[in-house]
Amino acid sequence: MRSSTVIVRIKGGLGNQLFCYAAGRRLAIANQAELIVDDVTGFVRDLRYRRRYMLDRFRIPARKATPTERLEPFERYRRGVAKSLARRRPFHLRRYVEPEGVDFDPRLLSFEVTGTVYLDGYWQSEGYFKDVEQTIRQDLEIIPPQDGRNREVAQRIAECNAVAVHVRWFVSPTAADGQHNVGPSYYAAGIREIRERVPDPHFFLFSDEPEAAMQALQMAQGATTCIGHNRGDENAYADLWLMSQCRHFIIANSTFSWWGAWLSPHEQKIIVAPGIVQSGISSWGFAGCIPGEWTQI
């Protein structure tokens, strides 16, 4: 029985949940510690988005936390105390570990786990798990959807030079202030980049509002397939699975399509990511998320 444990708190949408898990898994491996997944407390107070744990669709080996390991009862109070105490200590001595800021923090890579450590944060960078990449890929193998429609689309993806294009609407497509949405000019540039490097590409368009995306991007009908049948959070994994089957990618400023591209097993894949600066910050808002071999536009 291992003498130390890492309890990772999963939260956010599917892309962020994957980042939470990957950072926790690597921390546990580096310290020969048991990884335990808190699949509850990160969602109980998500009253705005009402997200829920979605990693049951992946082949992760970690067990789920017991109520005691989730700091229950009085979880909110006990978690607040743990956070307050941790912030008074040097980073390497903390037992409740959160990011300080949003940029990549290499201190997590050398963190030594003794006893029980709680890991709470999004940790949005490949740098937190690059050295255990193959293990992460095995853990995050998506259990494929079995319905006929998704299997049919997957077959079409396999038969062509498939390019996944993801459009994420952070605000409504019709909103007056849409500065958080990556605009059509980025996608037009991404499509040009792909066409210059990929023979006869076929684009598979994924979006939380696919009809609006199709209209906004004005993509060629014959060279584009709009994927709009996997509605709702419970089916997000199916879109992610289809996306990961593609050979090349034009991603949004979204951790969802980041993971769709990263999980693709194609060795020669081209990944185009937004590097646009809006309102004084990059379209991601932080440094360290985009791997160096990806193409930023």
pLDDT (tens digit, 9 = 90+) per residue, 192-234? Answer: 999 999 999 999 999 988 888 988 898 888 899 999 999 988 9
b or e along 16-25 (b: 16 or more beta carbons within 10 Å of the residue's beta carbon)?
bbbbbbbbbb
Cα dihedral 69, 72, 75, 80 in deg (nearest 10): -50
Q: Residue for token digits 């037009």?
A: 188
Kindly give the interhelix angle for 184-197 and 210-217, rounded to the nearest 10 degrees.
70
282 confidence band (pLDDT: 50, 70, 90): low
Q: What pLDDT is attached to residue 178?
A: 47
Residues 3-29 pLDDT 10s: 899 999 999 999 999 999 999 999 999
Answer yes or no: is pLDDT of 175 > 50.
no
Answer yes or no: is pLDDT of 179 > 70.
no
State the average pLDDT over residues 276-284.
58
Q: Tell me if the bond preceding 106 is cis, omega within 30° of 0.
A: no
Give bridge partners of residue 37 from the DSSP assignment.
8, 64
Rounded Cα gap, residues 283 and 252, in angstroms = 9
Q: What pLDDT is attached to residue 287?
A: 76
Are residues 227 and 204 in contact, defined by beta-carbon separation less than 8 angstroms? yes
Residues 34-81 pLDDT 10s: 999 999 999 999 989 899 999 999 999 999 999 999 999 999 999 999
Q: What pLDDT is attached to residue 177?
A: 40
Q: What pLDDT is attached to residue 295?
A: 95
148 confidence band (pLDDT: 50, 70, 90): very high
Strands 96-97 and 63-64: unpaired
Q: What pLDDT is attached to residue 176?
A: 40
Answer yes or no: is pLDDT of 281 > 60.
no
Residues 71-115 pLDDT 10s: 999 999 999 999 999 999 999 999 999 999 888 999 999 999 999
Q: What pLDDT is attached to residue 180?
A: 65
